[in-house]
Amino acid sequence: MTDTATAPLRGISPRTGEPVGDPVPVSTARDVDAAARAAARAFPVWSALPAADRAAALDAAADALDAAREELVAVADAETALGEVRLTGEVGRTSGQLRLFAEVLRDGGHVQAVLTPADPAAGRPDVRRMRQAIGPVAVFSASNFPFAFSVAGGDTASALAAGCPVVVKAHEGHPATSVAVARVVAGALRDAGAPDGVLGLVAGFEAGAALVRHPAVKAVGFTGSQSGGRALFDLAAARPEPIPFYGELGSVNPVVVLPDAAARRTAEIADGYARSLTLGTGQFCTNPGLLFVPEDGPLADAVAAAVGATATGAMLTAGMRDGYRARVAALDEAAGLVPLASGGTNDDSFAVAPRVWRCSLASFADRLDTLAEECFGPAGLVVTYPDPDALAEVLAALPGSLTGSVHATAGDTAAAARVAAVLRHRVGRLVHNGWPTGVAVCWAMHHGGPWPSTTAPLHTSVGATAIDRWLVPVAYQDWPDELLPPELQDANPLGIPRRVG
């Protein structure tokens, strides 16, 4: 990366295809270095703050986001065309995530304190273990959630809660939104007592790779394409000091409809599928890309009618629109696929129409490597199967996904158990009689899965345990009580959950 001047980034309206928003300067190598060094200087101060003080700062950032909601939504809508209702709700989700991690800090269980007293008779020393912040974190903003998975999204909120300063790489699809959010959140953190450098922002394609390579950065959070994520993952592993890379990449999110449910709930399932497939113009990482239905019965035809009655709008960027169109063209030419339905669209510059194809289970199995690839957008494949028992081998061969869903009635119980037993090893979240789009921000949520849905299936990017990614263990052996962190002292002055013995 060089310091050569580059044209500023501009948001492009998906409605008109014209530039919108203020130009955002592309970060130079010096800019990236300065942001990373500032985060490194902030780290010992921020990580040493009592958890209660970090929690108060996160609450202050959440309040500031809510107060700036109207301004932020206007900027984001111009750059993304996601609409006022969707974006207003997303700001609320983002501030809610910050407050959730403030609760996590006040609970204290995230440090996983364990005390094993000395046993002289066994020759065992006193050992006390807890988790601490890993260091400055780089976060890559996502295209499809300009608030909830971007500058102040779950990766940033969880890393800040852990005690890690964050440098965010802004997404090219909403640069002005990124700057506006960073200004609001960084200002609120500073006013709450956070050190300078606890939240930084860089912009531009080359800035991302430079950030991953920077020696001050100790971990990376990423949400985006499989190709982009894999390239950055390899960079993180190839550093002189390799660092963890937590990437959320591609996911096809299989949905299995069992025979009795297909017969009894035909219209409900067809309508639910069409809504889930087209929600947000299909630009969700949990979009139901594969639908398995019985080959006998009316469900496939009902799905065709439901999808054919839908209409979608613009995708977020011209690149996503073009990628969707190219994938659709390839599927139209794929052997064994029969076009099942095409929905409508509007006149927006980046608009695309929903598409669904049909194929048999045998045909799908023969071309699984290509047909089970994610198509980012409102496109789905309906796979018809002869019998639930025929599904097991194909489901077991699917690429890893964030979710797997099963629609069943009481009459399908035995088959549902068999399908779930297979799917649980290919997905991170199992949904029963529901649709995968929509991820609840809560303590129990797991938003992860086997490759290629993520690079680290142990971890989640949504929910309270997202903080685990930014914490590493340290054990204290035979240290005097007064020199131990409060979390490990005999009196447990913070009153946190601990395992003793």
Q: Is 195 left (phi over 0), alpha (psi -120 to 50) or beta?
A: beta
Q: What stretches of 348-457 adopt beta strand conformation (E)? A: 355-360, 379-385, 401-407, 427-432
Q: Categorise residue 160: left if φ over 0, alpha if ψ from -120 to 50, beta otherwise.
A: alpha
Neighbours of 382 (CB within 10 A): 25
Selected catalytic residue, list 248, 359, 374, 375: 248
Rounded Cα gap, residues 361 and 385, in angstroms: 5
Annotation says 285 is catalytic: yes
Q: Is 482 labeled as catalytic in the residue annotation?
A: no
Phi and psi for 27 in degrees, rounded to 5?
A: -70, 135
Residue 156 CB partners (closer than 8 Å, separation 6+)? 139, 166, 168, 199, 221
What is the dihedral sign for C-alpha 8, 82, 350, 402?
A: positive
Residues 66, 54: Cα–Cα separation, whole Å: 19
Q: Check 285, 359, 374, 487 and give the catalytic one.
A: 285
Give the integer Cα–Cα distance in Å for 71 and 442: 27
326 CB neighbour count, 10 Å cutoff: 11
What residues are labeled active site?
248, 285
